[in-house]
């Protein structure tokens, strides 16, 4: 599947029916999701691989990985309502994804999911709760040797320090994350946030 076709397919995914600010529920826009996934595909981290998407929300990243030929994809989400949308999105795009209700901060979840090849994630950035992304990074490093994550621009030194001796950052791709007015505290119709996609490689 070409990049443009992937983007067009992901564009069809429905968004959160009732987005929750406390969980930082922002669906990754299709162009950014497609960019992450295509980069991972070209880096041989998707095709034939076992993929996990913690905090999968409405399923955009997980579904995209399935469409690009992952062997299996598992999406984990704490919010049942979001998972309902994710399941409908996967059905619409005929993507084979297993969606699981779970809390990424629960230690036993790692064992329940088992080892994967690649984690793809857009975790909470920590705007509502400081360091909300840390349990996601810990989960990712415990689950797979390779992780792609979307972070606020400028996060790299913090991610680097947090994962020191556990992982190396091998790739950094800049991108934009347009956020539509969603919550009462949003003052603009669309606010564009600069982000960076980081690829982490676990140190054996
Ligand atoms: N990955 C999705 C959603 C990003 S928003 C996308 O790219 O579109 C972050 C998601 O993480 C939200 O859906 C939120 O409900 C979920 N989340 C937040 N804390 C969580 C936790 N502790 N365990 C599992 N999911 C969580």
Span 162-192, pLDDT tens digits:
999 999 999 999 999 988 888 888 888 888 9
Mean pLDDT, the chain, as a whole number? 95
Which residue stretches of the chain are H helix?
A: 3-11, 30-42, 60-67, 80-92, 108-113, 134-143, 156-162
Q: How confident is the model at residue 42 (pLDDT cuts 50, 70, 90)?
A: very high
pLDDT score at 107: 86
Least confident of 37-41, 54-58, 92-96, 103-107: 103-107
Report the atom number in ligand 1 closest to the C-alpha of 62.
1
Query: Does ligand 1 have an atom closer than 6 angstroms to the CB of 89?
Result: no
Report the alpha-carbon distance of residue 100 to residue 93 in Å, rounded: 19
pLDDT score at 187: 87
38 Cα–ligand 1 center, Å? 21
Query: Does ligand 1 have an atom closer than 6 angstroms to the CB of 85?
Result: no
- Mutate which of 15, 30, 78 for ligand 1? The one with the most ligand atoms within 8 Å of its CB, which is 78
Query: Does ligand 1 have an atom closer than 6 angstroms to the CB of 55?
Result: yes
Query: Does ligand 1 have an atom closer than 6 angstroms to the CB of 61?
Result: yes
Q: What is the pLDDT of residues 92-115, one digit of tens each?
A: 999 999 999 999 999 899 999 999
- The model's pTM is 0.96
Contacts of 199 (CB under 8 A, 6+ apart): 39, 40, 43, 45, 146, 147, 148, 169, 170, 171, 172
Among residues 114, 18, 96, 23, which one has the least CA distance to residue 59? Answer: 96
- Mutate which of 57, 61, 81 for ligand 1? The one with the most ligand atoms within 8 Å of its CB, which is 57
What is the token pair recorded at 182? Answer: 């969603």
pLDDT at 129 over 80: no
């Amino acid at each position: 599947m070409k990049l443009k076709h992937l983007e067009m397919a992901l564009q069809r995914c429905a968004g959160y029916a009732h987005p929750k600010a406390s969980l930082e529920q922002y669906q990754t826009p299709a162009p950014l999701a497609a960019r992450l996934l295509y980069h991972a595909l070209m880096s041989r981290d998707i095709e034939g691989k076992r993929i996990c998407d913690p905090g999968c929300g409405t399923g955009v990243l997980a579904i995209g990985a399935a469409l690009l030929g992952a062997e299996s994809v598992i999406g984990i989400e704490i919010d049942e309502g979001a998972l309902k949308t994710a399941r409908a999105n996967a059905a619409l795009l005929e993507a084979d994804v297993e969606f699981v209700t779970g809390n990424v901060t629960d230690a036993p979840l790692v064992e329940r999911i088992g080892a994967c090849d690649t984690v793809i994630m857009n975790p909470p950035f920590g705007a509502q709760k400081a360091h909300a992304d840390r349990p996601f990074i810990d989960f990712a490093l415990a689950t797979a040797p390779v992780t792609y994550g979307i972070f606020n621009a400028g996060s790299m030194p913090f991610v680097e320090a947090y994962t020191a001796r556990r992982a190396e950052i091998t790739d950094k791709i800049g991108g934009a994350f347009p956020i539509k007015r969603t919550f009462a505290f949003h003052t603009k119709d669309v606010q564009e946030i600069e982000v960076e996609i980081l690829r982490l490689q676990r140190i054996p």
